[in-house]
């Protein structure tokens, strides 16, 4: 502020509003960074969970579908995968994948 030219009430209000907006912008940037970090942590956790489930399923020697165009063979394979997922208590989204084939 210039001491020789005192600011009007409107000018002071505008300066205060600008400062308030600047601080809110800083807060939003910080919140955005925190949210991004949380999303990265969650993504990593999901990847680790999926990797763990793949390893668990693989260790039980799941049935293998050889691509035979026989509907009965495919249905048997799907049932086998569903049984294994149930036995291993796979997350629901894993079960949804196999339900796409039925």
pTM listed for this prediction:
0.50
Instruction: Please list the pLDDT of the chain residue by residue as tens digits (102 residues).
Output: 555 565 688 899 999 999 999 999 999 999 999 999 999 998 888 888 888 888 888 898 888 888 888 999 988 988 888 888 888 888 877 766 655 554
Burial class (CB in 10 A: 0-12, 13-18, 19+), 81: buried
């Amino acid at each position: 502020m210039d001491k020789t030219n005192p600011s009007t009430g409107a000018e002071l209000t505008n300066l205060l509003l600008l400062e308030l907006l600047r601080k809110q912008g800083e807060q939003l940037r910080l919140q955005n960074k925190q949210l991004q970090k949380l999303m990265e942590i969650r993504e990593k956790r999901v990847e680790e969970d999926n990797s763990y489930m793949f390893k668990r399923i693989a260790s039980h020697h799941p049935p293998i579908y050889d691509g035979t165009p026989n509907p009965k063979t495919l249905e048997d394979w799907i049932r086998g995968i569903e049984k294994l997922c149930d036995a291993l208590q796979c997350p629901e989204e894993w079960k949804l994948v196999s339900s796409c084939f039925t």
